[in-house]
Amino acid sequence: MEILMVVVVGVMFTIATYMVLTKSLLRVILGTVLYSHGAHLLILTMGGLGTGAAPLLSTEGPHSDPLPQALVLTAIVISFGVTAFLLVLAYRTYKQHKTDDLDQLRGSSDE
């Protein structure tokens, strides 16, 4: 099961990298969202995909590992904050410069 998960994560990273390397700002942001999805899954997978119950003491054990879940929970919230900020930044950039093409947004050589 872990190996299958790692393959899924690998595909996510591949696609995320490809999107980040394109020229459209929106695609780049979508790529970063995919990166965080991949990273979250990877953390969970590396923590070991136990077959235990949910980490609630009210259920019968053995429980699955609660620590990676706590880490991923934190990561989800942080990446949400960053994504929101990036989106608004893209929105402002587009408003200001009337383009989302990263080639056209690039600074002149003496900057």
Partner 1 sequence: MSLLHLVILAPFILAIFIPLFFKYVKQVHTGWFVLVLPTILFIYLIQLIPTVSGGEPIVESLAWVPSLGINFDVYIDGLALLFALLITGIGALVVLYSIYYLTKKGEALHNFYVYLLMFMGAMLGVVLSGNLMVIYVFWELTSLASSLLIGYWHHREKSRYGAQKSMLITVTGGFSMLASFSLLYVMTGSFNIQEIIAQAGDIATSPLFIPAMLLILLGAFTKSAQFPFHIWLPDAMEAPTPVSAYLHSATMVKAGIYLVARMSPVFAGASEWFWIVSVFGMFTLLWGSFNAVRQTDLKSILAYSTISQLGMIMSLLGLGSAAAFYNYEEVYFTATIAAVFHLINHSTFKGSLFMVAGIVDHETGTRDIRYLGGLMTFMPITFTLSIIGAFSMAGIYPFNGFLSKEMFLTGVLNTLMMTDFNMQSIGFLFVAVAWIASVFTFIYSMIIVFKTFTGKYQPEKLDKKPHEAPIGMLISPIILASLVILFGLFPNQFLSYTLIEPAVQSILPTALPAGEQFYVNIYPWHGWTPELWLTIGVIVVGTIMYLTLTKWQNIYKILRLHKKDPINYIYDGFLDKLVTGSQKITYMQMTGRLNNYLAFMSVFLIAILAYGLIEFDAFALDTSIVGDIPIYFWILAVVTVATTITMPFIQNRIAAIITIGVVGYLLALFFVFFKAPDLALTQLLVETVTTTLFLLCFYHLPELRKEKSKPRFKIANLIISLGVGIGVMIVGISSIAMKAGRPFESISEYFKENAYELAGGKNMVNVILVDFRGVDTMLEILVLAIAGLGVYSLIKLRMNDEGGRLK
- Distance (Å, rounded) from C-alpha 101 to C-alpha 71? 35
Report, in Å, the least distance between residue 74 CB and partner 1: 5
Asked whether position 97 contacts partner 1 by CB under 8 A, the answer is no
Q: Which residues, 66 to 85, sit near partner 1 by CB under 8 A?
A: 66-67, 69-70, 72-74, 76-78, 80-85
Tell me how far apart the alpha carbons of residues 65 and 74 are, in angstroms, rounded to a whole number: 16
Rounded to whole angstroms, how far apart are CA atoms 90 and 94?
6
Tokens of 8: 């899924």
CB of 39 to partner 1, least distance (A): 9
Residue 43 makes CB contacts below 8 A (sequence gap 6+) with 68, 71, 72, 75
CB of 60 to partner 1, least distance (A): 12
Q: 52: exposed, middle or buried (C-beta count within 10 Å: 0-12, 13-18, 19+)?
A: middle
Which residues 4-23 are close enough to bind partner 1 by CB under 8 A? 4-15, 17-23
Smallest distance, partner 1 to C-beta of residue 111, A: 8
> What is the footprint of partner 1 within residues 20-59 (CB under 8 A)?
20-28, 30, 33-34, 37-38, 40-42, 44-46, 48-50, 52-58
